[in-house]
């Protein structure tokens, strides 16, 4: 009997016959950058995860944790892949503390299911995260990748919301970091260390997070501009004013067209809070837009507003040949960098759409068709975008791309000063390289 048959048999004894996949055709669905696993295993508890990882350590297997797969196009090409660890059976709401606005949930539940539960309980609350693919993204995947969306402008990211994390380390040790009460600790803040670690340091099984009451009212103001300079100037004035939108997006003509807006540049503001404040801010921002030369303004409410932000949030409908990039930089350079990106993309003959978090110093670039014929110009363009972001205090991450493009560049951008620390932590916590080998920063 081969080693593979031995460890698969051991896994089957842990999770049961019904919760392991070995059919070659089904395994193709779980491939990462064209590399298919030898098995997909679905544990039903953190104790089963611990047993599986102990076995994986003994056999020196490569294990990739997975929710619904919405982030699997990101990251480096795996060094190896033996087992996909599906988290979808670990999906309970553990505790909902309504008076204290906190929530503990298991990692396999989708963010959409969490939000539906919160809206219908008591006076209603919400977890202020709106990453791409919220309908399918699992909480564990969102936290492991530190994924965020337009409302990051007001509510920040998972790093600012989480109170605690429970996880299983690569050695099989079950651990808990943080909790409902925030305390000062010495050494590494392990809760924050797990956020955005891409499942390389441990398998997140449960999170405890802050919640917020549902806003009383909301509205969205759209302002159209013929010139990027005017759109950028307007965005900066709102940014430096006393007004406080929950999201502020600046997008180019190609992106705006996807939302049915015929304009060179579109600036969108999400406004939330008490009704009087929402109406006042909509009026003030609308007046500011007109003074800055907006060709048109309009306000969205109700279902029209909700549908607009879902389209913005899920703009990157990734196909096998598409590329999604996330650039970060100092906020003051937003307009300059967007203008350069547009010019360079046009010169390279690469179709691009740009959506920027104007208040966070982030631009997402979308290249819908980068098949084999476009590989060379796309790689050159990505390297140019990366250098520009790094020049202005940031970096660029490739969030999705065909394998042939990933093979020709560093998907995590320019080398970071913290790579040495991350590598040492990985070697200490996962000496056998069991979890997600090769997919994180620096090929960790």
DSSP symbols for 194-239:
HTTSTTSS-EEEEEEEE-EEPPSEEEEEEEEES-HHHHHHHHHHHH
Looking at residue 317, its pLDDT comes to: 60
User: Is residue 343 in some structural domain?
Assistant: yes
- Domain final residue, candidates 184, 213, 242: 213
- The CATH number assigned to the domain holding 77 equals 3.30.43.10
User: Is residue 426 in some structural domain?
Assistant: no
- For residue 409 the two structure tokens come to 């560049």
- Give the phi and the psi of residue 81 in degrees, each rounded to 5: -150, 110
Same domain, 190 and 270: no
pTM: 0.93
* Beta-bridge mates of residue 175: 167
Give the β-pairing of 296-300 and 265-273: unpaired
- Domain final residue, candidates 278, 313, 348: 313
* Domain, as residue range, for 83: 3-87
Full pLDDT tens readout for the chain, 444 residues: 357 778 999 999 999 999 999 999 999 999 999 999 999 999 999 999 999 999 999 999 999 999 999 999 999 999 999 999 999 999 999 999 999 999 999 999 999 999 999 999 989 999 999 999 999 999 999 999 999 999 999 999 999 999 999 999 999 999 999 876 544 444 567 888 899 999 999 999 999 999 999 999 999 999 999 999 999 999 999 999 999 999 999 999 999 998 889 999 999 999 999 999 999 999 999 999 999 999 999 999 999 999 999 999 988 765 666 899 999 999 999 999 999 999 999 999 999 999 999 999 999 999 988 877 789 999 999 999 999 999 999 999 999 999 999 999 999 999 888 888 889 999 999 999 999 999 999 889
Do the Cβ atoms of 232 and 250 come closer than 8 Å?
Answer: yes
What domain count does the chain have? 4
Same domain, 111 and 200: yes
Q: What is the pLDDT of residues 271-315, one digit of tens each?
A: 999 999 999 999 999 999 999 999 999 999 999 999 999 999 988
- Domain final residue, candidates 250, 284, 313: 313
Burial 89-102 (b: 16+ CB within 10 A, else e): ebbeeeebeeeeeb
In whole angstroms, what is the distance from residue 323 CA to residue 399 CA? Answer: 7
In whole angstroms, what is the distance from residue 48 CA to residue 42 CA? Answer: 9
Looking at residue 372, its pLDDT comes to: 75
Same domain, 297 and 357: no
Same domain, 197 and 248: no
Q: Is 105 left (phi over 0), alpha (psi -120 to 50) or beta?
A: beta
User: Is residue 350 in some structural domain?
Assistant: yes
Helices (H) and strands (E) in the chain, counts: 16, 19
Same domain, 241 and 271: yes
């Amino acid at each position: 009997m081969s080693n593979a048959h031995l460890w698969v048999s051991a896994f089957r004894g842990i999770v049961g016959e019904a919760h392991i996949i070995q059919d070659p055709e089904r395994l193709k669905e779980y491939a990462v950058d064209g590399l298919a696993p030898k098995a997909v295993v679905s544990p039903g508890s953190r104790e089963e995860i611990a047993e599986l990882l102990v076995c994986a350590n003994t056999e020196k297997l490569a294990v990739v944790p997975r929710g619904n797969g919405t982030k699997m196009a990101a990251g480096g090409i795996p060094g190896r892949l033996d087992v996909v660890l599906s988290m979808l059976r670990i999906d309970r709401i553990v505790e909902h503390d309504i008076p204290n606005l906190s929530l503990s949930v298991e990692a396999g539940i989708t963010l959409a299911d969490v939000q539906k539960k919160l809206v219908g309980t008591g006076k209603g609350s919400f977890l202020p995260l709106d990453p791409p693919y919220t309908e399918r993204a699992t909480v564990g995947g969102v936290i492991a990748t530190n994924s965020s969306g337009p409302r990051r402008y007001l509510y920040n990211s998972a790093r600012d919301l989480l109170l605690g994390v429970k996880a299983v380390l690569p050695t099989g040790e079950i651990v808990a970091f943080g909790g409902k009460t925030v305390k000062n600790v010495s050494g590494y803040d392990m809760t924050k260390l797990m956020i955005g670690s891409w499942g390389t340091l441990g398998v997140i099984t449960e999170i405890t997070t802050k919640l917020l009451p549902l806003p009383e009212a909301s509205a969205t103001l759209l302002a159209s501009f013929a010139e990027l300079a005017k759109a950028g100037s307007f965005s900066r004035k709102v940014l430096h004013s006393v007004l406080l939108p929950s999201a502020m997006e600046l997008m180019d003509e190609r992106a705006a067209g996807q939302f049915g807006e015929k304009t060179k540049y579109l600036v969108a503001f999400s406004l939330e809070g008490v009704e009087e404040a929402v109406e006042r801010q909509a009026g003030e921002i609308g007046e500011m837009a007109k003074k800055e030369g907006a060709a048109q303004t309009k306000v969205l409410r109700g279902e029209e507003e909700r549908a607009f932000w879902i389209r913005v949030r899920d703009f990157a409908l990734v196909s096998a040949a598409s590329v999604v990039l996330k650039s970060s930089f100092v906020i003051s350079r937003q307009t300059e960098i967007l203008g350069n990106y547009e010019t360079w993309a046009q010169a390279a003959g690469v179709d691009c759409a740009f959506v920027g978090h104007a208040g966070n110093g982030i631009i997402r670039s979308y290249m819908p068709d980068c098949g084999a014929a476009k590989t060379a110009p796309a790689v050159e363009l990505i390297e140019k975008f990366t250098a520009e972001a790094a020049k202005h205090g940031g970096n660029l991450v490739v969030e999705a791309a065909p394998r042939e493009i990933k093979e020709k560049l560093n998907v995590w951008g320019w080398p970071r000063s913290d790579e040495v620390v991350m590598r040492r932590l990985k070697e200490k916590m996962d000496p056998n390289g069991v979890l997600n080998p090769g997919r994180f920063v620096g090929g960790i």
